[in-house]
Amino acid sequence: MAKTLVFLEHHDGAIQKNALAVLSKAASVGDAHGVVIGSGVRDVAASVNTTVWVADDERVAAPLPQPRVDVIAKLVRDEGYDTVLFGQSVLAADTAAGLAARLDAGLNWGLVDFDGTQGRAPQLQDTVVVEVGWSSPVRIGIFRSGSLDVGELSGANEVKDAAVELEDFSTAAEMLEQAHAEQQGPSIEDADVIVAGGRGLGEPEKFSLAEELASALGGAVAATRAVVDAGWYPYSAQVGQTGKTVSPKLYVALGISGAIQHKVGMQGSNVIVAINKDANAPIFEFSDLGVVGDLHEIVPKLTELVRARKS
């Protein structure tokens, strides 16, 4: 049975869904506690049904990794946790890696599952699944976004104070200006949802179908090499072997055949929905939901329905 500490990353007063999902997973393979670090975050720590350490201090207000390493390392040493888990994010990756070096602990990332002693991680753009283990006394793991579901926790909340003893070098970096919500849609690399258009759209003007759907879903718009070549959309939106590689939670492919050059750029997506009028399009071989039909009829309706749901 693992004794796990889960880093509960939070933003704007709410814990990241992925972190909660990781906590559920940890609870299913042993004892699972959380740690919340920031300033004015006691409420956040009180919102989870398990023991949650809170480091509530001005000095750790900014989302910087190194002070978090200090807090978590002390907890691990003092409380004897043998496993520390994170949900993927820039902050989490930096914190986990710093922690691994601090504790001389093994770090496995890109995990989609964990059984208490071993983890599972797809690698090489999801072409192979690796069972990974740890040979160090403390195990550190980072889970991919969207790989786990948030479950119910059966325990009761208890908030305990964690010491905030920071190394000099941990406080050397300072946050000058923190990110605020972006007005425009997310960039392709960061988007949780991507709606991509291909030749099946028929003409450049029809990219508006992709744009409307992306806007309804809160995502970004991408394009295949073929339509970028034809000048229908800018190269910065190209996904594929010679464009960007993305792995959003949801990838909606409109009128895209699914040639391997495109596939290698998006096959790591969690959920792939494809709409194409050609029943034999290769994309149907690797999509979770394949819809054979006319995207010009389906997409406007779909956009409407999504908008209705969200409101």
* CB 20 to other proteins: min, Å: 13
| The one among 24, 49, 118, 157 contacting other proteins by CB under 8 A | 118
Please say which residue, 65 or 255, places its beta carbon nearer to other proteins: 65
Question: Do residues 153 and 49 lie in contact, with contact meaning Cβ atoms separated by under 8 Å?
Answer: yes
Residues 237-276 contacting other proteins, CB under 8 A: 238, 241-243, 249-250, 259-261, 264, 271-273, 275
- Which candidate, 296, 277, 145, 272, places its Cα nearest to that of 208? 296
Nearer to other proteins, 58 or 288 (CB): 288
Rounded to whole angstroms, the Cα distance separating 305 from 308 reads 5
Which structure tokens are listed for 94? 């930096």
CB of residue 277 to other proteins, shortest distance in Å: 9
286 binds other proteins (CB under 8 A): yes
Return d(Cα 159, Cα 35) in angstroms, integer: 9
Q: By CB under 8 A, what part of segment 49-88 binds other proteins? A: 63-66, 69
Q: With CB under 8 A, what is the number of residues at the site for other proteins? A: 101
State the nearest-atom distance from the C-beta of 174 to other proteins, in Å. Answer: 5
Both tokens of residue 43?
Answer: 């409420």
Written as six digits, the tokens of 12 are: 């704007």
Give the contact letters, 191-220, x = binds to other proteins (CB under 8 A), - = no.
--x-----------------------x---
Torsion from C-alpha of 200, 205, 210, 211, nearest 10 degrees: 170
Minimum CB–partner distance for residue 189 and other proteins (Å): 8
Among positions 156, 182, 205, 311, the unique one binding other proteins when judged by CB under 8 A: 182
Q: Segment 13-42, which members bind other proteins (CB under 8 A)?
A: none
One of 106, 116, 185, 211 touching other proteins (CB under 8 A)? 106
Write the Ramachandran bin of 38: left for phi over 0, alpha for psi from -120 to 50, otherwise beta: left
**Residue matched to tokens 């003893």:** 165
Q: What residues form DSSP beta bridges with 107?
A: 140
- In the complex, least distance from residue 257 CB atom to other proteins, rounded to whole angstroms: 9
Nearer to other proteins, 51 or 284 (CB): 284
Considering only residues 121 to 180 of the shown chain, the ones binding other proteins according to CB under 8 A are 122-123, 125-136, 142, 149, 167, 169-170, 172-180
Identity of the residue, 110 or 255, whose beta carbon is nearer to other proteins in the bound complex: 110
Q: Strand pairing of 118-123 and 113-114? A: antiparallel
Q: Which is nearer to other proteins, 159 or 166 (CB)?
A: 166
> HEC states along 45-108?
HCCCCCEEEEEECHHHCCCCHHHHHHHHHHHHHHHCCCEEEEECCHHHHHHHHHHHHHHCCEEE
Q: Which stretch binds other proteins (CB under 8 A): 28-36, 47-55, 152-160, 279-287?
A: 279-287
H or E element that contains 220:
strand 220-223
Cβ pair 53, 38 in contact under 8 A: no
C-beta of 156 vs 310, nearer to other proteins:
310
